[in-house]
Amino acid sequence: MLKNILDLIYPRKCIFCNNILNINNKNKYVCETCAKTLAFVEDDFVFVNNKNLDNNIKFYFKDCISVFYYESNISKAICDFKFRNKDLYFRPLASYMLENIKKYYNNINFDFITYIPMFSSREKERGYNQAALLAKYLSKKLKINFACLITKIKDNKPQHSLTLDKRRINIQDVYKFSGNKNIKDKTILIIDDIITSGFTLNEAAKVLKLSGAKEIYCATIATTRIKNKNSLLNYINKNMCDSLRRKNKEYE
Ligand SMILES: [Zn+2]
């Protein structure tokens, strides 16, 4: 009863298209149209397996899986989640990730689940780290130990504000192993919101591998459609977060 009244006063909106949800909508966060038409990554492309990423680079994670392509409604929802205080979006977004992890990583025994950290002052400013919210939710649901294994020691420029070549240099040596757990021979799942070039996840995986971890896997909400470098660069130039960023100076 109370729930229905609240729904009338503060109607729930679909996180992807912003349309008001019908009270009888089964899903509390996503409308029926979006639930059917979102750009899910097809089975054949789910595993990044390093092969779609720059082959001049040594990759430290074994694989990365993503739920959606980073475009249209999905990029909007992720930008809202990251930059517009929609921290509660972690629940619907992580529940999609949960299904993906159960489906594709079901034969892997993870010892820890961790996330890509933010620089401390940036996290203070935002009030939350979206990747940590996702990772905590997933750790509870999957019954895998949650741990803050990585610390960000350099306040570099945001990766999505840079071209591909600059991203690689920008991310170098920005992380260190937190040292708070014994990760020797452990299998670790790193959570982040998006994978584009793969450099961020790779740098984080590197510090864990060099600290003794056995295998690193990654999972994200979304990925860019990677076909070739040019299309990726092209995409980055047009990407929605960048245009939001230009419009909203407060995020600088
Ligand atoms: Zn919708």
Helix then strand then coil, % of the chain, to nearest 5: 45, 15, 40
The rounded Å distance from CA 36 to ligand 1 centre is 9
Distance CA 251, CA 118 (A): 15
The rounded Å distance from CA 22 to ligand 1 centre is 11
The rounded Å distance from CA 29 to ligand 1 centre is 8
Torsion 198-203-204-208 (CA) sign: positive
Here the tokens at position 163 are 């071209």
Every domain range in the chain assigned CATH 3.40.50.2020? 38-251
Task: Give residue 119's region: left, alpha or beta (phi > 0; psi -120 to 50).
Answer: beta
The rounded Å distance from CA 4 to ligand 1 centre is 20
The rounded Å distance from CA 143 to ligand 1 centre is 30
The rounded Å distance from CA 116 to ligand 1 centre is 28
The rounded Å distance from CA 190 to ligand 1 centre is 28
194-243 pLDDT, tens digit each: 988 888 999 999 999 999 999 999 999 999 876 444 444 334 434 444 44
Question: What does DSSP say about strands 175-177 and 150-152: parallel, antiparallel, or unpaired?
Answer: antiparallel
Beta strands in 32-159 (DSSP E): 63-69, 112-115, 145-146, 150-152
DSSP string, 19-67: PBPPTT-SSSSS-HHHHHHS-BPPGGGS--TTTTS-TTS----SEEEEE
Q: Residues with Cβ within 5 Å of ion ligand 1? A: 14, 16-17, 31, 34
Here the tokens at position 71 are 């475009």
Other C-beta atoms lying within 10 Å of the C-beta of residue 35: 14
The rounded Å distance from CA 216 to ligand 1 centre is 34
Give the per-residue pLDDT at 90.
96
Give the per-residue pLDDT at 111.
98
| Beta-bridge mates of residue 64 | 218
More confident residue, 142 or 7: 142
To the question of pTM greater than 0.95 for the whole model, the response is no
The rounded Å distance from CA 12 to ligand 1 centre is 11
113-166 pLDDT, tens digit each: 999 999 999 999 999 999 999 999 999 999 999 999 999 999 988 887 787 778
The rounded Å distance from CA 25 to ligand 1 centre is 11
* Listed residue (185, 189, 70) closest to 131, CA to CA: 189
Give the number of C-alpha atoms closer than 13 A to the C-alpha of residue 240, restricted to the C-beta side.
Answer: 16
The topology under which CATH files domain 38-251 is: Rossmann fold (3.40.50)
The rounded Å distance from CA 78 to ligand 1 centre is 14
Tokens 């130039």, located at residue: 237
| Beta-bridge mates of residue 190 | 114, 218
